[in-house]
């Protein structure tokens, strides 16, 4: 189950969500994917990861963003449509 692959413990990486049994944060995985790294590249750099664990990190992040919270995004006036 994907939920079991993510854990948060205040004694590990200051409580940031990590892949269970590692110190690899969900945040790091997202940053690497956003920077254009492929899943295979990430696994090559972090052999304890699998495609399933990376997908679990994505599912966790998606669920976290589904919460009823507003995330302000700065926009320049030229980007705001009237």
pLDDT at 1: 62
33-76 pLDDT per residue, tens: 999 999 999 999 999 999 999 999 999 999 888 876 766 777 66
Tally Cβ neighbours within 10 Å of residue 48.
Answer: 11
Measured CA distances, 28 to 39, 45, 74, 78 (Å): 13, 12, 23, 32
Q: Cα separation of 62 and 74, whole Å?
A: 21
**What dotted CATH number matches 2-79?**
1.10.10.10
pLDDT at 55: 97
pLDDT at 75: 67
Q: Is the pLDDT of residue 17 over 80?
A: yes
Asked if residues 56 and 1 have their Cβ atoms less than 8 Å apart, the reply is: no
Q: Which residues, listed in sequence order, are joined to residue 19 by a DSSP beta bridge?
A: 6
């Amino acid at each position: 189950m994907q939920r079991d692959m993510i854990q948060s413990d205040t004694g590990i990486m200051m409580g940031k969500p990590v892949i269970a049994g590692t110190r690899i944060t969900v945040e790091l995985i997202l940053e690497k994917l956003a920077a254009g790294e492929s899943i295979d590249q990430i696994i090559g750099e972090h052999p304890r990861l699998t495609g399933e664990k990376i997908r679990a990190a994505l599912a966790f992040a998606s669920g976290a963003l589904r919460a009823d919270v507003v995330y302000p995004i700065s926009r320049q006036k030229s980007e705001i449509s009237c």
